[in-house]
């Protein structure tokens, strides 16, 4: 099989994912919704199960054997994530439940503390709601204003007017690394350089980028970067926020409570240093430990091979969908985009399409993908979206395209 | 369940050739509803005289289930009293909850939508037009 040529042994990978044995409506499951959440390999499932079966205790609390084991595994996952993202130390990785929490932490912990009237926050029209709404909430209380980088017709960021959008009034640029609705990979290096040149910080939503691409936060010189564990083979409620040490140190915590404090008095409390000051309450411990195993799995595959596979799947899907007469939103060149492919097939509404495809065992997403600004920009209420990961094959894309024909017949 | 039990001919017919799909300028009562999860939109326009719904039209965009439900609703409800329409809306919701086996005398073409019950995620699509109508009728009762 050609999958092998780019370095991934997809058949072997598929054997690691028990759910891929599921039969849906009498057909083998074709899971094409990894941009919403990825499936989990046995190695991750077993790690979570082993944690609960053999090592479960609260982390950073118990002065006993199990407490030490739980803490060691929890902090071990943090170290693995630091290594995976090229971070200088484990202390620069804050555990969160995913990018939504990470962006809220940035918008509240940094934004509410440092933004003033006259300041500007720059985001883009390509953002997921989790990188729009937290900023709307923050500018409403700080008096700062929110500006948007617009999109071109082929779904790229329109940087032609960047000079007037990114000025010394801009205090932070918060941008996605890869659009979940259009698949577009944004020019992070260029954006980060331009933002730093005017003294602005850069926060990156890497929910879609991190599962598919090697990221080196130091080489990128990014200030803050959020990721969702459940989209990169890890459990739900796992994920985190990388931050430069000085940025994390300056930020306020979002949640007050247990674990995040040094000392509590009647009138005030003192906080632990980062990352622990951001981790109030009992964390999803087993889940973050599971994410550590997910990162081990991805590193064993090699992120370059993971990206090559994504690009190959995306190129094949774009070709087949366009050939079948689908309208594809976003860039058409697979080398500049990721594997979340939004489309509309003939006159079949995405919801109807998703229902019909489900009868064929094919799982795709239909809707606005939490990106209503993108839908409005392209004047469509919704799209169908197929997205790919390390376990998907070209044969599955063929099943998708054949099922499209069935839908086309029903609505012909 | 085969998908053709969901996409019955009559549903596809109302979807492709919608009835009463137009704005009603100067309508006495209008209401808009949408489904934030999927972006389905329906606006209903109603004229009421002596407690009778003399004219009912809709505008909207969305999937076949949401739009055909709106189209069929306008045909069935036109000419009913406000109270009758309210009652039918309630019965339609019961049908969608699987609590009521619909009869053609009461429901007309709407019977075709009973297949939606087997697709729980799509029920909200079918109910959207009715919720929107209900809001317009509430306005009619409490001007």
pLDDT of residue A325: 95
- Domains in chain A (CATH in brackets) are 2-31+303-410 (3.90.1150.10), 46-300 (3.40.640.10)
- Global pTM reads 0.93
- Percent of chain A scored above 90 by pLDDT? 93
pLDDT of residue B3: 81
- A353-364, pLDDT tens digit by residue? 999 999 999 999
| Mean predicted lDDT score pLDDT of chain A | 96
Residue A7 scores a pLDDT above 90: no
pLDDT of residue B87: 94
Question: Do the strands A340-345 and A383-387 form a parallel or antiparallel pair, or are they unpaired?
Answer: antiparallel
- A268-302, pLDDT tens digit by residue? 999 999 999 999 999 999 999 999 999 999 999 99
Q: Does domain B3-141 have CATH number 3.90.1010.10?
A: yes
Q: Of chain A residues 371-400, which have a CB less than 8 A from chain B?
A: 372, 375, 381-382
Chain B residue closest in CA terms to A368:
B38
pLDDT of residue A6: 57
pLDDT of residue A2: 43
pLDDT of residue B100: 87
pLDDT of residue A365: 95
- A157-189, pLDDT tens digit by residue? 999 999 999 999 999 999 999 999 999 999 999
pLDDT < 50 stretches in chain B: none
- A31-54, pLDDT tens digit by residue? 999 999 999 999 999 999 999 999
**Which among B61, B64, B65 is the nearest to A381, CB-wise?**
B61
Residue A3 scores a pLDDT above 50: no
Residue A1 scores a pLDDT above 60: no
Q: Of chain A residues 311-350, which have a CB less than 8 A from chain B?
A: 349-350
pLDDT of residue B143: 58
Q: Which of the 8 DSSP states describes residue A186?
A: P
Maximum Cα interatomic distance, chain A, rounded to a whole number of Å:
71
Phi-psi region of A193 (alpha: psi -120 to 50; beta: other; left: phi over 0): alpha
Extended beta strands in chain B, E state: 29-34, 41-49, 52-61
> Is the pLDDT higher at A296 or at A62?
A296
A350 vs B contacts (CB less than 8 Å) = 38, 63
Residue A21 scores a pLDDT above 80: yes
pLDDT of residue A238: 98
Determine contact, residues B92/B106, Cβ cutoff 8 Å. Answer: no
CB-CB under 8 Å, B4 with A410:
yes
């Amino acid at each position: 099989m050609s999958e092998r040529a780019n370095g991934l042994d997809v058949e072997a990978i598929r054997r690691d994912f028990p759910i891929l044995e599921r039969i849906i409506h009498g057909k083998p499951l074709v899971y094409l919704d990894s941009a919403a959440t990825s499936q989990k390999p046995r190695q991750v499932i077993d790690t979570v199960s082993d944690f609960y079966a053999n090592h479960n205790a609260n982390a950073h609390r118990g002065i006993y054997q199990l407490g030490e084991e739980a803490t060691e595994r929890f902090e071990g996952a943090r170290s693995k994530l630091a290594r995976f993202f090229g971070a200088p130390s484990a202390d620069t990785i804050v555990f969160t439940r995913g990018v939504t929490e990470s962006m809220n932490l940035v918008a509240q912990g940094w934004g509410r503390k440092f933004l003033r009237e006259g300041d500007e926050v720059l985001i883009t029209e390509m953002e997921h709601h989790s990188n729009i709404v937290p900023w709307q909430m923050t500018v409403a209380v700080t008096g700062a204003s929110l500006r948007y980088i617009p999109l071109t017709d082929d779904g790229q960021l329109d940087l032609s007017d960047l000079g007037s959008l990114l000025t010394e009034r801009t205090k932070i640029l918060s941008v996605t690394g890869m659009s979940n609705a259009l698949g577009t990979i944004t020019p992070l290096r260029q954006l980060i350089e331009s933002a730093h040149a005017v003294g602005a910080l850069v926060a990156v939503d890497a929910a879609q980028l991190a599962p598919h691409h090697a990221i080196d936060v130091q080489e990128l010189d990014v200030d803050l970067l959020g990721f969702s564990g459940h989209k990169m083979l890890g459990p739900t409620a796992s994920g985190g926020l990388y931050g430069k040490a000085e940025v994390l140190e300056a930020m306020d915590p979002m949640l007050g409570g247990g674990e995040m404090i040094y000392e509590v008095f009647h009138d005030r409390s003192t906080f632990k240093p980062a990352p622990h000051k951001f981790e109030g309450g009992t964390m999803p411990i087993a889940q973050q430990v599971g994410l550590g195993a997910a990162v081990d799995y991805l590193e064993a595959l090699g992120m370059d091979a993971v990206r090559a596979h994504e690009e190959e799947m995306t190129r094949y899907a774009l070709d087949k969908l366009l050939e079948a007469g689908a309208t594809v939103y976003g860039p058409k060149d697979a080398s500049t985009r990721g594997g979340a492919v939004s489309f509309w097939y003939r006159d079949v509404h995405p919801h109807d399409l998703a229902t019909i495809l489900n009868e064929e065992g094919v799982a795709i997403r239909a809707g606005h993908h939490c990106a209503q600004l993108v839908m409005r920009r392209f004047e469509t209420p919704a799209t169908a979206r197929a997205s790919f990961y390390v376990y998907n094959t070209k044969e599955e894309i063929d099943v998708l395209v054949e099922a499209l024909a069935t839908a086309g017949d029903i609505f012909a | 369940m085969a998908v053709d039990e969901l996409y019955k001919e009559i549903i596809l017919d109302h979807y492709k050739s919608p009835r009463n799909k137009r704005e009603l300028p100067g309508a006495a009562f209008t209401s808009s509803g949408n489904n934030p999860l999927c972006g389905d939109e329906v606006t209903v326009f109603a004229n009421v005289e002596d407690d009778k719904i003399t004219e009912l039209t809709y505008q909207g965009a969305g999937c076949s289930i949401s739009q055909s439900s709106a189209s069929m609703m306008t045909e069935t409800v036109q000419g009913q009293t406000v109270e009758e329409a309210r009652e039918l809306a309630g019965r339609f919701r019961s049908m969608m909850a699987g609590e009521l086996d619909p009869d053609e005398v009461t429901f007309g073409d709407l019977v075709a939508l009973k297949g939606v019950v087997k697709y729980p995620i799509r029920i909200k699509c079918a109910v959207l037009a009715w919720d929107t109508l209900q809001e317009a009728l509430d306005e009619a009762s409490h001007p």
